[in-house]
Structure 1
Amino acid sequence: MSATRLKHVDTLHVAFGVDEKYLHPMAVTIASIVESNPGLELVFHVFIARISPASRTRLEQLEHLCGRPVHLHLVDELAEIKDPGGGKGQAHISKAAYIRLLIPEALQDVTERVLYLDADILCTGEISELSQLDLGASIAAVVRDAGARSKRAGLERKGFALADYFNSGVLYIDIPRWIASGISGRALEKIVDPALNLRYSDQDALNIVLDGQACFIDRGWNHQYGLTGKLKKGKAEMDVPPSTRFVHFIGPMKPWRSWNPHQSKELFLKYQALTPWAGAALDEGFTPREIYVYSRFMYRLMFRQGRWLSGLLWYGRFLRWKHGPSA
C-alpha cells in the first residue's frame, strides 16, 4: 500500500481501529465515503493488531478500487509509541480495547487532524466541510449520544457530573491538542480503574477526560440508528434526514446480516459491490436478541399483508423463542 503522505491541509485523514472480523464492513464504510465524496482528497488509515495475507491483499485491492491511499498500521509494530496499556495493572487490557487511543500519536507527523470512525457506519452525504470546521479551543468535535441522559446519570453516580455525553463512534480530533492534554493515557487510567468499573469502557472514559473540551456538532455527523428498535416497530425502510452524513448502526444488529429485512441491507450491499468483498456472503448468525426481534417483526409483517398462516407460524416461533431458554 502507499507510503504515508506528509501533512496536507486539503486532505481529510480518516482512521479506523478494527480486528479482522470488521475489515469487511470497514471496507464498505470506506467505499461509501468515496462514493459520496468523489472529489474529496481522502487518506484512510487502518489500525489493526493482526491481519491475514488474504485480508492484506484485499486492502491493497480496495486502495486500487477506491483510488485513495489506504495505509495499514500494525499495532504491534508501533513500538516507538508509548503503549497506554503497558503500565502497572493494565496488562489484562487487550489492544482491541484501546486501539483507537493509539491513533493520534501514531499520526502526529502525518496530519494535525484525523476523523476516527467506527466500522459500523455508512456515509450518505458530503463531508468536505469537516476539513474547514472551526474547533476553537476544543480537542475534538463530537455528537451527542442517543442515550446521553441515562449515561450521564450513570457516571454521575460514580462521581462525575458531566456537562453532556457524546457517542465515541465519530471523533474529529485535533491531534496536537489531544497529545498535549494526554487524553489517551488519562482515558486508559479510567478504563483500568477497578473502582470505576465503567459500563461503556472507553466511551465513558473519553467522556470523562474530554468533558468541557469537546465541541458538539450536528447529529447528521453521527446519526445513531438502532435497527433493533426499528424492526420492533415494524419499520423496514431507511428513514434518515436528508442532512445525514454518517449513519451509525448502533446496537447488536447490523445491516450486513443476511436475514436482515431492513432496507439498510440493500444500502450496505450497494457499497459492498464497490469493494473487493463484492459478492461475499453476508453474516448468517443470530444472537438470541435478534431471533426474538426478527420473529416478532415477521409475524406482524405477515399479518399486515394478510398472510395469516405464515403469520401464525412466525407467531409460534416468536412465542417459542420468547419463552424458551434462548430468549
Structure 2
Amino acid sequence: MFRDDTLHVVLATDDNYAEFVSVVIVSILHNNKQFESIHIHLLANGVCPENIEKLRRHLPTDKGVLHVYDISDLQQRLGIEVPNTIALSAYARLFMADILPYNLERVLYLDCDVVVSGNIQDFWTVPLGNNLIAGVRDTLPNSSAKNDVGLANDAEYLNSGVLLINLKLWREEKTRQKFVDFLYAHNGHVHHHDQGIINAVCNGRKYVVHPCYNLTSNFLSHPFQMLVKTNNPFYTAREVNEAKANPAIIHFTQGFYNRPWIANSNHPFKEVYLNFHRQTRWAEEPLRSDNRSFVVRILSWEFLNLPLWVYNTTQKIMSFILKIKKWHLK
C-alpha cells in the first residue's frame, strides 16, 4: 500500500560502493524530516557484514529501517554475460519487482553516486497513473542512442540513476521478463546498459519530472544550447537554471567535472557531498586518486575553461594520433 508519509528508497551496491551508500542515506535523513518513516532497501552484492552494520547505524531506530536483500545471484538472474564497463549491481534494478516485498506499490530507486540535497516529497507523490516510471530526461542520448534500442528520435529518454518506479504495474505486466527478453534479443549488449533496457521497455509510459530531481553533471558543464541541440525533447532554460540553483538530488555522473570523492575535484557541488561524507562512518577514509588518463584530464580542462573550438581541435588531433598508433601496431 502506498503512503505519502512513508518513503521507500532502493539502492544497489557491491562492497566497493558501501561508503557512497552511507552518504546517500545521511543526505536523505537530513533533508527529508517530514516523512514519518524512511525505509532503505539495499540490494547487496557481496557487501560484507561489517559494512552492513555500519550502514544500519546511520538510521535512527525511531524513524529509519534498513532492509538488506542478497543479490549475489544476479549473474544467474540475468542468464547472459553483459559488458563489465559498469558494476554488475546496476542491473539489479531490473529485478526489483521480484526481490522487494509484494506490498510495495512504488519505490524510489537511487544510484549510489547521488546526494539528496533537498525535499523530495513532491517527487515521491507524483501521480504515476498508468506510467511505469518517472524521472528526469537524460543529457546524453542522441538519435543513434535512441535508435539503437528501438526508440524514435523524439521519444522520451530518462536517466535511470534516479527513478520513481510503479512497482505495482511492473508486477502486473511482468516487466521484469520484458527486461530480460530485451537483453537476450540484444545478446547482452544494450546501449547505455540497463538504462537503455528500461527506456525501451517503458517507452510511451514515462512521467517526466523537473530536472532538480536528478541534476547530472552535464547540466552543469555543458552550455544550455548544446544540451538542447543534442536532446529532443528537453527542458527550458528556466527549468535548467532552477535545477542548478536549487537541486533536490545531485547526481555526480562521470563527465568533465571530476567526482567529489576524488582528490582535487572541481565539481561545483563537491562541498555538499563532502559535508555529508563527514557525517558518515567512513568520515576518516581518504579521498580517492584521480585515475583518468592525461588526455582525458586535458580535454576536460579545455572543455570547461576554453572556447569550444579549442576542445574540438584537440579532440580531433588526439583521435588522429590514436589512429596512427593503431595503424603502426598492425
TM-score category (smaller protein): 0.7 to 0.9
After TM superposition, the structure 1 = structure 2 runs for residues 86-165 of structure 1, keeping only pairs within 5 Å, are 86=79, 90=80, 96-148=89-141, 150=142, 152-156=143-147, 159-161=150-152, 163-165=155-157
Tell me the distance in 2 between the aligned counterparts of 1:7 and 1:197. Answer: 35
- Paired residues in the alignment total 287
SS of corresponding position for 1:18 = strand
Contact 1:85-1:93 within 8 A present in 2 as well: no
How far residue 66 of structure 1 moved from its aligned partner, in angstroms, is: 9.9
Q: Residue 270 of structure 1 is aligned with which of 265, 275, 278?
A: 275
The residue aligned with 1:217 is 209
After TM superposition, the structure 1 = structure 2 runs for residues 39-50 of structure 1, keeping only pairs within 5 Å, are 39-40=34-35, 41-50=37-46
Tell me the distance in 1 between the aligned counterparts of 2:196 and 2:62. Answer: 34
Q: Residue 291 of structure 2 is aligned with which of 286, 291, 309?
A: 286
Contact 2:139-2:218 within 8 A present in 1 as well: no
Q: Residue 248 of structure 1 is aligned with which of 235, 247, 251?
A: 251
Overall identity of the aligned pairs, in %: 25
Tell me the distance in 2 between the aligned counterparts of 1:295 and 1:91. Answer: 36
How has the CA–CA distance of structure 1 residues 227 and 284 changed in structure 2, closer, same or farther, with 3 Å as cutoff? farther
How has the CA–CA distance of structure 1 residues 100 and 9 changed in structure 2, closer, same or farther, with 3 Å as cutoff? same
After TM superposition, the structure 1 = structure 2 runs for residues 307-322 of structure 1, keeping only pairs within 5 Å, are none
Contact 2:133-2:164 within 8 A present in 1 as well: yes
How has the CA–CA distance of structure 1 residues 295 and 42 changed in structure 2, closer, same or farther, with 3 Å as cutoff? same
Contact 1:228-1:290 within 8 A present in 2 as well: no
How far residue 154 of structure 1 moved from its aligned partner, in angstroms, is: 2.8
How far residue 64 of structure 1 moved from its aligned partner, in angstroms, is: 4.3
The residue aligned with 1:175 is 167
Contact 2:81-2:188 within 8 A present in 1 as well: no
How far residue 9 of structure 1 moved from its aligned partner, in angstroms, is: 4.9
SS of corresponding position for 1:12 = strand
Tell me the distance in 2 between the aligned counterparts of 1:189 and 1:32. Answer: 36
1:131 aligned partner, one-letter code: W
Tell me the distance in 1 between the aligned counterparts of 2:44 and 2:158. Answer: 24
SS of corresponding position for 2:51 = helix
How has the CA–CA distance of structure 1 residues 247 and 9 changed in structure 2, closer, same or farther, with 3 Å as cutoff? closer
2:117 aligned partner, one-letter code: T
Larger mean CA deviation between 170-179 and 38-47 belongs to 38-47
Tell me the distance in 1 between the aligned counterparts of 2:131 and 2:242. Answer: 32
Contact 2:83-2:188 within 8 A present in 1 as well: no
1:215 aligned partner, one-letter code: Y
Question: C-alpha deviations, 1:73-96, integer Å up to 9, x for none?
Answer: 111489xxxx6414xxx2668852
Tell me the distance in 2 between the aligned counterparts of 1:145 and 1:285. Answer: 25
How far residue 224 of structure 1 moved from its aligned partner, in angstroms, is: 1.5
The residue aligned with 1:3 is none
Question: C-alpha deviations, 1:180-239, integer Å up to 9, x for none?
Answer: 222222122222334684221111111110001121111111112239947xxxxxxx99
SS of corresponding position for 1:103 = helix
Tell me the distance in 1 between the aligned counterparts of 2:104 and 2:165. Answer: 10
Structure 1 unaligned spans of 5+:
1-5, 231-237, 302-317
SS of corresponding position for 1:250 = coil
Tell me the distance in 1 between the aligned counterparts of 2:184 and 2:120. Answer: 35
How far residue 155 of structure 1 moved from its aligned partner, in angstroms, is: 3.1
SS of corresponding position for 1:55 = helix
1:20 aligned partner, one-letter code: D
How far residue 250 of structure 1 moved from its aligned partner, in angstroms, is: 1.6
Contact 1:8-1:111 within 8 A present in 2 as well: no
TM-score (norm 1): 0.75
Tell me the distance in 1 between the aligned counterparts of 2:300 and 2:217. Answer: 17
1:217 aligned partner, one-letter code: V
Cα RMSD, aligned residues only: 3.6
